[in-house]
Structure 1
Amino acid sequence: MITWQDLTLDEQKDALARPAIANRADLTSKVADIIQLVKDKGDEALLELTAKFDGLTLDSVALPQEQADAIIATLGAEQKAAIELAYGQIKRFHEAQVQPNVKVETSPGVVCELITQAISSVGLYIPGGSAPLPSTVLMLGVPAQIAGCKRTVLCTPPDTSANNKGGVTAEILYAAKLCGINEIYRTGGAQAVAAMAYGTNSIAAVDKIFGPGNSFVTEAKQLVAQDPAGAAIDMPAGPSEVLVLADANANSAFVAADLLSQAEHGPDSQVILVSDSQILIEKTKQDIESQLTLLPRAEIAKKALANSRFILASSLENAVQISNQYAPEHLIVQFDNARDWLGKLDNAASVFLGAYTPESAGDYASGTNHVLPTYGYSKVLSSLNLADFTRKFTVQEITPSGLQAIGPAIMTLAAAEGLDAHRNAVGLRLDALTAKLDTLNDSPVSDSNLSGTKK
């Protein structure tokens, strides 16, 4: 346990440090090599890397529709119902985020618009391996569907289980079906990111790539985003993390369960408990030990707990300050009257208020999105939302009289900046309007005849 008020400023900073990515330079080099291999050899590289990393020999990276249908048919009614419920919840929340276009006449004859348009093609990376994530299909596929993206590509590592070898898990496929996704490719890791960014014979390149992944996937996303010939990405997302704020009245079993729910994601996850109660902290530690014995992924969780912190704050206000400094991906507030503290929580990607709001709800079926900025990026970045699947552009249309009204100011500003071509682009038009007025011989003036049509 760490007593916050006993630490120096440097020690406090160290206490909130994320697990460092070991051998980062080596990781970058390896990922860059994989990306280049895919750029050079396309599908051949994807199949070679699938054989190397997944131990599977595939004829093609695309999942045949007949195989997808056969796999979905094996899914039980209970699993389908759960996916459908989550789909409905997520869809309702994201549909509420649809924004109308904006059209404003900023002054007479000057009309400005802000128009929202779906990104044409998007690529969704869905982790597989030890924990396939159909929930991530919904978190990415639903907003892509609502936004109206013309093309949605899904890449995920092939299933290596004995009963579905070389396919894709039924839960992922059913979630994709609900989202209207029919381009599904069996490839994972950095090679999948490279394929979506640059294209192969089978996979046409996309405009933007979404989704979480391991260190190789995260590194690949950042590398292709830095390349003008690559693709945009949703956000930099590192290992999963949670910070729990708990007062003396919090249920320690609930707190322990929330910490473990993040710890089981992977050995590089980080979990932090901040409380003003030493008794609560000690009880939570005991509950973690007892709950660990029941978890199939206990060994993974134990490794993540090595990066955990149990911090004793001097007060609840101090606990909130610590959370704001850390800027967690997930923030759980188990205070009495938790909502009363919401206005003081400055930096968190997703907030869970009250004892009966587990982080698991946000991961699956409350309706919010679980693709979130980590590593402190929540100070400046938003959780994934519908807007990420769209682009906004402006339109302006000016009548002759509108230009006469604002043109002189434009010319003055252009001259102040020494941009004479900008000034001339307006001046020539104003001169033409003046000349046209002179030829009208006192005819009634309107925007239509100023444009060249007499009434």
Structure 2
Amino acid sequence: MNDFEFLYNPPRKDWAKLCARPVNEQEDLSVLCKNVFDEVKANQDKALLGFTERFDGVKLGSIYATDLELSRAAALVDPQLVLAINQAYSNIYKFHKAQKPESVEVETTPGVVCRQEYRPIERVGLYIPGGSASLFSTLLMLAIPAKLAGSNEIILTTPPLKDGSIPPAVAYVAQLCGISQVLKLGGVQAIAALALGTEQTKPVYKIAGPGNQYVMAAKDYAVQLGIAIDLPAGPSEVLVIADASANPKFIAADLLSQAEHGPDSQVIFLTTSEDLLERTFEALKELLVGLNRKDIIKESLKSARFIYFNTLQECFKFSNAYAPEHLILALDQADNYSSLVLNAGSVFLGHLTPESAGDYASGTNHTLPTKGYARSYGGVCVVTFLKKVTFQMISQQGLDLLAPTIETMAKAEGLEAHALAATLRKTRGGKL
């Protein structure tokens, strides 16, 4: 691993360049997505089986995982992992249950009552990535809030293993969360199946879950067909802000944990301590030696940023400009600085709060906005699977008070029928 270039108080004019995410040469995937979606629409399950063999090298007899298949796969999970998953489930459930919003009712004018209530998105699709690692933890992060929201049809899709089976931990979590519709599909064809439906499933109303560039392109394509998605999500990223009180090995481990997600992941380290900058880099080299994904990490670290600022205020300004998916505040009394955080997906406070806690088991959600979208998006939560519905009810007194306002505004916009609808109801002038 080559030495990094340490940056010292970079001027504001350079921040946009420093905040840019790594860019891989990517083909235009819109044509691929259109071709896959069109083929799936025309030939349904036959097309899905064909694409799975073509793209994943797996020849399936059926894209549907049976209850027996799920039970057998779930039984293969190591008992220690079962205990860990159950603990994570409990914490995630507790935190997300507390997020359920309450209805709001307000009398805006005497006799005019407005109410807002929440309704579940009835049919949702959850995409769980496979590839180099089967992210069963992501299923916890998606299925639990969807269930708490009241979504009554949840379709899970995940790439099959090379033998055509479902990854055991994914099967266990699916059963734990009460999901019975499981499709053995990955990539663009999986999103097409969720958006268009299959021979045994209906199209979903919303698709949630992260994925690679092909999955994200497919989700964008599904939006054009009227299917909602959770949020824009790309390669993982972390930004650490630390002062002299921080432990360099803790920071190095956090940076490495993000870098191992993939070669296009990004890590940024900001500090007010020049000594910590050097010591953290040395810790990175030391800890990297024993990791099994070191080749991926080394590729990811090529785009790492190590930056010294004179003040924590400058660190926070840079962080807000970058808008990280994960933000770690390795500071004494870190919670005192939380008000300075404007743009971040999830924040980890203090020296004893690793980012991996949020990835797995603290209770917060790890499906978060990346690529700067934390400026305008939050992470997945119960509300992701809810929609707001407003109600209004007006009495005669309320209508008499409100009608002049309605009439005046409608006539000013040239919409006379709008005005008439209120006029006819005034003091029951138009009563039957």
TM-score (norm 1): 0.91
Matching residue's letter, 2:173? A
Alpha-carbon offset, residue 419 of structure 1: 1.3
Contact kept, 8 Å, 1:252 with 1:287, in 2: the verdict is: yes
Matching residue's letter, 2:403? G
**Farther off after superposition, 421-430 or 123-132:** 421-430
SS at match of 2:214: helix
| Count of residues in correspondence between the two structures | 428
In the aligned structure 2, how far is the partner of 1:319 from the partner of 1:416? 51
In the aligned structure 1, how far is the partner of 2:341 from the partner of 2:126? 31
Q: Deviations over 1:350-379 (max 9, x none)?
A: 000011100000000000000000011101
Partner of 1:356: 352
Contact kept, 8 Å, 1:264 with 1:300, in 2: the verdict is: yes
Partner of 2:17: 14
Selected match of 1:3 from 4, 7, 10: 7
- 1:59-74 to 2 correspondences below 5 Å: 59-74=61-76
- 1:65-84 to 2 correspondences below 5 Å: 65-84=67-86
In the aligned structure 1, how far is the partner of 2:386 from the partner of 2:313? 38
**Farther off after superposition, 180-189 or 290-299:** 290-299
- 1:316-355 to 2 correspondences below 5 Å: 316-355=312-351
In the aligned structure 1, how far is the partner of 2:331 from the partner of 2:224? 42
Selected match of 1:117 from 72, 96, 119: 119
Partner of 1:256: 252
Partner of 1:419: 415
- 1:57-206 to 2 correspondences below 5 Å: 57-160=59-162, 165-206=163-204
Selected match of 1:223 from 217, 221, 224: 221
Partner of 1:384: 380
Alpha-carbon offset, residue 81 of structure 1: 0.9
Matching residue's letter, 1:395? F
Matching residue's letter, 1:211? G
Selected match of 2:53 from 51, 54, 66: 51
In the aligned structure 1, how far is the partner of 2:223 from the partner of 2:310? 43
Larger Cα-atom Rg: 1
Moved over 6 A (4+): none
Matching residue's letter, 2:86? E
- 1:373-412 to 2 correspondences below 5 Å: 373-412=369-408
Contact kept, 8 Å, 1:373 with 1:381, in 2: the verdict is: yes
Contact kept, 8 Å, 1:333 with 1:352, in 2: the verdict is: yes
SS at match of 2:425: helix
Alpha-carbon offset, residue 76 of structure 1: 2.4
**Farther off after superposition, 352-361 or 47-56:** 47-56
Contact kept, 8 Å, 1:263 with 1:300, in 2: the verdict is: yes
Pick closer, same or farther for the CA change 1:398–1:301 going to 2, 3 Å.
same
In the aligned structure 2, how far is the partner of 1:34 from the partner of 1:307? 33
Alpha-carbon offset, residue 31 of structure 1: 2.8
**Farther off after superposition, 338-347 or 27-36:** 27-36
Q: Deviations over 1:1-22 (max 9, x none)?
A: 34343x4444322122101242
TM-score (norm 2): 0.96
SS at match of 2:391: strand
Give aligned-pair identity as a percent: 46
SS at match of 1:42: helix
In the aligned structure 2, how far is the partner of 1:8 from the partner of 1:281? 19
Pick closer, same or farther for the CA change 1:3–1:430 going to 2, 3 Å.
same
**1:234 matched to 2:230:** yes
In the aligned structure 2, how far is the partner of 1:375 from the partner of 1:149? 29
Structure 2: gaps (5+ residues): none
Pick closer, same or farther for the CA change 1:435–1:172 going to 2, 3 Å.
closer
Pick closer, same or farther for the CA change 1:10–1:35 going to 2, 3 Å.
farther
In the aligned structure 2, how far is the partner of 1:414 from the partner of 1:114? 24
In the aligned structure 2, how far is the partner of 1:306 from the partner of 1:10? 22
Q: Deviations over 1:140-194 (max 9, x none)?
A: 000011111010000000012xxxx211111111111121101001000011011
Partner of 1:443: none
Alpha-carbon offset, residue 80 of structure 1: 1.0
Matching residue's letter, 1:79? L
Matching residue's letter, 2:96? H
Bigger relative CO (Cα 8 Å, ≥ 6 apart): 2
Contact kept, 8 Å, 2:15 with 2:318, in 1: the verdict is: no
Matching residue's letter, 2:320? N
Matching residue's letter, 2:411? A
In the aligned structure 1, how far is the partner of 2:336 from the partner of 2:299? 35
**Farther off after superposition, 401-410 or 330-339:** 401-410
Q: Deviations over 1:297-336 (max 9, x none)?
A: 1111111111111111122221111111111000000012
In the aligned structure 2, how far is the partner of 1:290 from the partner of 1:47? 46
**Farther off after superposition, 188-197 or 198-207:** 198-207
**Farther off after superposition, 414-423 or 143-152:** 414-423
In the aligned structure 2, how far is the partner of 1:77 from the partner of 1:212? 28
Contact kept, 8 Å, 1:329 with 1:372, in 2: the verdict is: yes
Partner of 2:41: 39
Q: Output the aligned Cα RMSD.
A: 1.5
Contact kept, 8 Å, 1:4 with 1:12, in 2: the verdict is: no
Matching residue's letter, 2:65? L
